[in-house]
Amino acid sequence: MSEVRILLADDHAVVRSGLRRLLEQKTGFRVVAEAENGDQAYQMYAEFMPDIAVLDLSMPGMGGLEAIRRILARHDSAKVLVFSMHENAAFATQALKAGVRGYVSKTGSPDELVTAVTEIMRGQNYISANVAQKIALNSLGGEHDPFHLLSTREFEIFRFLAAGKGTAEIGEKLKISQKTVANYHTTIRQKLDITSSIELIRLAMKHSII
C-alpha cells in the first residue's frame, strides 16, 4: 500500500494531536490536514484531496453529518470514516446512509482506528462491534428507530432543533435560508408524526440524540 494521506476533523485540538500521533506511528500513514469544524472539513477535503477523511460528528458549524453529505455529494468516491462518541444506531445508520465507509466508537481501543483506516483503504467497510450490534438489534425488530424515515440533512436539522437552535441559527450553520429550514421542520414533524417542540425534544431524549 502506498502512502495513505489522511484528513482529521475534530473540534478538540488535543484529540487531533493524539490521533495524528497514533496514525503516523503506522508506516505509510500521514496526516496532511486538520479541521476543527464541519465547514473546514468540507473545504479542506477539496483542497487536499486526502485518501481518507476521519471525521467526528459533533463539531461546530455545519456539523459532521452535513460535512460528510457535502463531501460525498461533490466527491462520490471519497472514503470517509466516522470516529465518534455517539454509539447509538440512529447516528451510525444516518452516517452509513450518507455513504461513509466506516464507523468507529471513541470508547473503543485506539488501535481499532488504525485497523479501520487500513481495512477501508483495502476496499472494505469497518464498523465497531458494539455499534454493529446495536444496528443489528434494530434491524431484527428491537427498539423502533423512527429516524430511518429522515434524510441525512433532515436528521441533522432534527438534532439542531432538539438542542434548542432557532431557524436563523440553523440556516446560518447549514448555509440555507430560514424558509428552507422551516420547510424541513414541517417535513420532519410530518415524518415523525409529532406536533410540538416538546414532543420533538422528548423523542430526541428517548433515543439519546441529545
| pTM > 0.85 | yes
- Full DSSP string of 102-129: EEEETTS-HHHHHHHHHHHHTT--EE-H
What pLDDT is attached to residue 27? 86
Per DSSP (E only), the strands in the chain are 4-9, 29-35, 52-55, 80-84, 102-105, 126-127
Q: What's the pLDDT tens digit per position in 96-147?
A: 999 999 999 998 888 999 999 999 999 999 999 999 988 887 776 555 678 9
What pLDDT is attached to residue 84? 94
- 158 to each of 19, 145, 181, 190, 198, how far by Cα in Å? 30, 14, 10, 12, 13
Q: What's the pLDDT tens digit per position in 20-51?
A: 999 999 889 999 999 999 999 999 999 999 99
What pLDDT is attached to residue 134? 85
Give the residue range(s) of CATH 3.40.50.2300 domains in the chain: 4-139
Give the residue range(s) of CATH 1.10.10.10 domains in the chain: 146-206
* 192 compared with 148, residue with greater pLDDT: 192
Phi and psi angles of residue 54, each rounded to the nearest 5 degrees, phi first: -110, 110
Q: Copy the grid coordinates of residue 153.
A: 440533512
4-139 sits in which CATH class? alpha beta
What pLDDT is attached to residue 120? 97
What pLDDT is attached to residue 43? 96
At residue 175, does pLDDT exceed 60? yes
What pLDDT is attached to residue 12? 95
CATH 1.10.10.10 applies to domain 146-206: yes
What pLDDT is attached to residue 1? 57
Percent of the chain scoring above 90 in pLDDT: 82
At residue 62, does pLDDT exceed 60? yes
Q: What's the pLDDT tens digit per position in 134-167?
A: 888 777 655 567 898 999 999 999 999 999 999 9
